[in-house]
Structure 1
């Protein structure tokens, strides 16, 4: 009997287990993806973002999400395949040819590892002993489970991306800018039509936040159309909420319950962003003071300009830096939120 190579055995088991744990963490956990998945996702996105010139309108960026999905799947397959191959390689006599019982070469073991994990069961190579037959059974069963789980992971991810687009369209349909959202909601007395939409907005936004925890890969699904861009839409919604809260006179009747509901939904999303994607806000992400002239022309009951400026430039400064950083990460700017405003 030829001696076993413990280095190959240990390395193979380590690679196989790390890959399996990453698959389980990413596909079955509700608390984010595995480290391999996160590293691959960030690496591929960074490459696409750089090649696109960091422009959110680039036609290249929408391909980043699908490419990340496929790359993650291939990384998992390669990890399982390589790990199982190294385990087989640790014993020179682990696999034999079924035709003449001669030892399989390393390249033939690579082939054997591949068709075992894919459960093809070709049969031209077989395990040499009961121990290696059991190892082969374990490899075939785990390959079936992990690869099937990996492929079915695509379905909820694509469903979450669909909700993301729906939320973007919903917010964009309320108005092209935060000012337009308020103008379209104002009936001369209050903003009842805005609050009529709040429950739906909160539900979709909270589900979107939960989806980010379960399927963080959706963060890298980008749409080059501004009205379908989720980061731009959420920033617009937050600015609309803050204009209502800090820009309207006290006598304006605001639904406090729904204001608080929307505040909580927005805060939960931004907490998720800070925890997973934005470690430090960008120094160049400062936000402009919203233009109030259009609101004045339409007769909305605004506070004094200095009071509004104080709130937006001091009280909300850090929050708006975070929002600006989120925009920058996806190739957008504050000008995309406020359109003509620079």
Structure 2
């Protein structure tokens, strides 16, 4: 009697996996099940990196999350259809022997049906079960297709993150390095820095809203890491606005709004309290380079008012395995 009702939890698993695939592939954000599997997998990578003292292990976080998510969807779908076919007692038999399938046979049959291989050594009896076999094959095709539509944009977004980080690294990498490079070398000065990264930041904002799990992706090399590049850029913009005795370049506040939107998504992913704000920067390099810098007391007061934002950026930096000093100078 209980076996005949196994199709009910089977259908629940199939529908849950299907809805989560759709949510993660087509909607802004990640599906609830994907979010549930991401947290323990990411925690495991961070634990292993902490135990071994090897920050480079964090670079495997993205691959683990993508593969783990796909396998989780596939497992739910596989088990769901196995329960459905197992609930039909004697409705699945060997093609040549007519022997009723055992549980392992059912798992095998469902696996190659979802993969649309159609091996044919087991067959369903009755038109209803034959139609269900077709539906299972369509479900498998649908799962693989939409899993690819999740994986490919995620991989492209991670590549775009690296491009932005490498571009900012070539500009100097650190907050004051970005300012000095723009001041001395860019034909448009500080405004050139803003114009060059404006479109990149808008794209990054959209990508992180579509795939918040990107905040759990890390890179092996510092120059490729957005956890260094984005805080350095925002700190540079803060210093341009509040430390330099100059009119703010056009577009600065719009660019900072884009970063604020990225940080809002970051906060939704991690929540909780950020660490204390980073220390006030030493502005001596800017003064030594001849830039008009306001008095330290005035600058410190302005930065203190941005303590929550700078704390969040420090949390991003440290979560990537870096020290705030690598952001500042």
TM-score range, shorter chain: over 0.9
> Aligned to 1:96, what secondary structure does the other structure show?
strand
Deviation of residue 184 (structure 1)?
2.0
Q: What does residue 281 of structure 1 align with?
A: 273
In structure 1, the residue corresponding to 2:173 is in which secondary structure? coil
Is the counterpart of residue 271 in structure 1 residue 264 in structure 2? Answer: yes
The one of 110, 113, 117 aligned to 1:116:
113
Work out which of the residue numbers 213, 225, 229 in structure 2 matches 1:229.
225
Q: What is the match of residue 11 of structure 1?
A: 9
Answer yes or no: is 1:135 the counterpart of 2:132: yes
Matched residue, 1:219: 215
Q: Secondary structure at the match of 1:156?
A: helix
The within-5 A match list for 1:1-342 is 5-29=3-27, 31-53=28-50, 58-187=55-184, 192-249=188-245, 252-255=246-249, 257-275=250-268, 277-282=269-274, 284-313=275-304, 315-339=305-329
Gaps of 5+ in 1: none
Partners of 1:87 and 1:15 lie apart in 2 by 10
Shift of 1:59: 2.1
Distance 2:44 2:84 in 1: 34
Cα distance in 1 for partners of 2:187, 2:244 equals 11
Structure 2 counterpart SS, 1:122: coil
**1:97 Cα offset (Å):** 1.4
Q: Is the 8 A contact 2:205 2:259 kept in 1?
A: no
CA shift for structure 1 position 176: 3.2
SS in 1 for 2:123: strand
Distance (whole Å) between structure 2 residues aligned to residue 48 and residue 253 of structure 1: 45
TM-score (norm 2): 0.93
Task: After superposition, give the CA deviation of every residue in 1:171-218 in whole Å (9 maximum; x if it has no partner).
Answer: 122223212222222259x99323123233121111111111222332
The 1-side partners of 2:313 and 2:295 are apart by: 25
SS at match of 1:239: helix
Cα shift readout 1:43-89 (whole Å, capped 9, x = no counterpart): 21111111111899722111121122111111111111100000111
**Distance (Å, rounded) in 2 between the aligned partners of 1:197 and 1:56:** 36
TM-score, structure 1 length as denominator?
A: 0.90
- Give the distance between the partners of 2:266 and 2:75, measured in 1 at CA: 31
Distance 2:151 2:173 in 1: 32
Runs (5+) with no aligned partner, structure 2? none
Counterparts of 2:48 and 2:26 in 1: how far apart (Å)? Answer: 33
CA offset digits 1:109-133 (Å, max 9, x no partner): 1111111111111111111111111
